[in-house]
Amino acid sequence: MISNFTFYTPTKIVFGRDTVDQTGALAAEAGAKSVLVVYGSDRVKKSGLLDRVLKSLNDAGIKACSIGGVVPNPHLSLVYEGIELGKANGVDFLMGVGGGSVIDTAKAISYGLAEPEYDVWELYAHTRKAKKALPVGVVLTIAAAGSEMSNSSVITDEKTGMKRGCNFEIIRPKFAVMDPTLTQTLPDYQTMSGCVDMMMHTMERYFTNGSKMAITDALAEGLLRCVMEQTKILHADPENYDARAEVMWASSLAHNGLTGLGNSGDDFASHRLEHELGGMFDVTHGAGLAAIWGTWARYVMHDCLPRFVKFAIDVMGVEPGATDEETALRGIEAMENFYRSINMPTNLRELGVQPTEEQLRALAKGCEAAVGGKMGSAKVLYVEDMYNIYKAAM
């Protein structure tokens, strides 16, 4: 039986060339009076994008201040710095100009400013739930995380190496400006990592046990096939506007909940396994997902065999084998071959990570703590399972 669901996507999308100049009007429409613009590297400055955003806000009569320096696996210390800057400037609106790490940082600052009497890390440590958040807007420069339409935010406490996420509906952005040309200067590795991440957001919802919905499967499978096709185009032709546009929109659809509607639950074990890798070794998120996925898939395959068979045939287009197990393995191998074709790793060694036995145990224990003891829908995983997957991924 198809599961009940609520689909909530309040984010207004403004998509296409030169849409950045609408940022100020969109922020004013959302009620902004004083905006904190959050960004990452100096590339946003050197390209002139930050100036365009600030000018658009100024033209709309909105005060603005800014904070940069967001890094991949974004740091809690910068969140705290942003909260203090926001307090000093009477900020009532956050604007993330960047990719997932920047947007997640803006969301975290939003939480902190809305409830300044609390430590924002409590939300990520899951010891408190958010009751309020300041509104957030986005100018997207990297297609990957889907944070521009999602209810999620992931932050790393760099002092402890703990990378944790939280999900609250109140944090979904009010609008997202999406100009595919802003992604054309990204390095190939970052583009390919982003494409893996958006695919994984759909795959985490696809490889589950329990109820399913045929229309949702069709949307998920179509999205995966499309992203793989467009990713190969971008790998060969990084400035291809149409391919950039396809994957930018796919990144949003992959993580706004659409590709899991009617399913009995999500899996997200690969993401949680990778979060520990990111916290300990500071690896690129999408690359870390590619490195762990094949091992996870083989480990859980027999507990979710019909889904792996369907994936192999309907997404990867493999010829069925003599048994369901053979077909499923062919599908996993085909996905790993796709990762290799875009220079993504398929194990920890290729990722450039070689954990010691002590680190492997620490990764598993950290993951266990983060998920409250168990995780997964394709197969329920406990701490020893988590360790076995990390170990096998070596």
Distance from C-alpha of 189 to C-alpha of 288, rounded to nearest angstrom = 12
Q: Is residue 316 part of a domain?
A: yes
Domains of the chain: total: 2
Q: What is the pLDDT of residue 152?
A: 94
Question: Do 37 and 133 have their domain in common?
Answer: yes
Q: Is residue 162 part of a domain?
A: yes
Q: What CATH number is attached to the domain comprising 245?
A: 1.20.1090.10
Distance from C-alpha of 315 to C-alpha of 219, rounded to nearest angstrom = 11
- pLDDT beneath 70, residues of the chain: none
Say which DSSP state 135 is in.
-
Query: In 207-257, where does DSSP find H-type helix?
Result: 214-236, 241-253
Which residue's entry shows tokens 């899996």?
267
Annotate 136-155 with b (16+ C-beta within 10 A) or e (fewer): bbbbbbbbbbbbbbbbbbbb
- Name the residue type at position 59: D
Q: 3 vs 113, 259, 385, CA distance in Å?
A: 36, 14, 28
Question: Do 115 and 238 have their domain in common?
Answer: no
Q: Is residue 333 part of a domain?
A: yes
- Give the tokens for residue 285: 């998120």
Distance from C-alpha of 2 to C-alpha of 77, rounded to nearest angstrom = 43
Between helix 285-300 and helix 269-281 the angle, nearest 10°, is 140
Span 215-266, pLDDT tens digits: 999 999 999 999 999 999 999 999 999 999 999 999 999 999 999 999 988 9
Question: Do 267 and 157 have their domain in common?
Answer: no
Span 297-317, pLDDT tens digits: 999 999 999 999 999 999 999
Question: Do 99 and 195 have their domain in common?
Answer: no
Q: Is residue 215 part of a domain?
A: yes
Question: Do 250 and 388 have their domain in common?
Answer: yes
Q: Which of 182, 200, 231 is the C-terminal boundary of a domain? A: 182
Question: Do 177 and 213 have their domain in common?
Answer: no
Percent of the chain, pLDDT > 90?
A: 93
- Give the tokens for residue 309: 């068979």
Q: What is the pLDDT of residue 264?
A: 86
Q: Is residue 5 part of a domain?
A: no
- Indicate the burial class of 63 (C-beta count within 10 angstroms; 0-12, 13-18, 19 or more): middle
Distance from C-alpha of 124 to C-alpha of 249, rounded to nearest angstrom = 28
Q: Is residue 62 part of a domain?
A: yes
Q: Which of 150, 182, 214 is the C-terminal boundary of a domain? A: 182
Q: Which of 130, 162, 182 is the C-terminal boundary of a domain? A: 182
Question: Do 21 and 144 have their domain in common?
Answer: yes
Question: Do 83 and 128 have their domain in common?
Answer: yes
Distance from C-alpha of 374 to C-alpha of 371, rounded to nearest angstrom = 6
Q: What's the domain range around 273?
A: 188-392
Give 3-state DSSP helix, strand, coil % of the chain, rounded to 5: 55, 10, 35
Question: Do 101 and 198 have their domain in common?
Answer: no
User: Which residues, listed in sequence order, are joined to residue 96 by a DSSP beta bridge?
Assistant: 38, 138
N-to-C CA span, the chain: 39
Q: Is residue 1 part of a domain?
A: no
Q: By three-state DSSP, how is residue 381 classified? A: strand
Question: Do 193 and 164 have their domain in common?
Answer: no
Question: Do 136 and 47 have their domain in common?
Answer: yes
Cβ atoms of residues 111 and 133 within 8 Å: yes
Q: What CATH number is attached to the domain comprising 158?
A: 3.40.50.1970
Question: Do 17 and 103 have their domain in common?
Answer: yes
Q: Is residue 4 part of a domain?
A: no
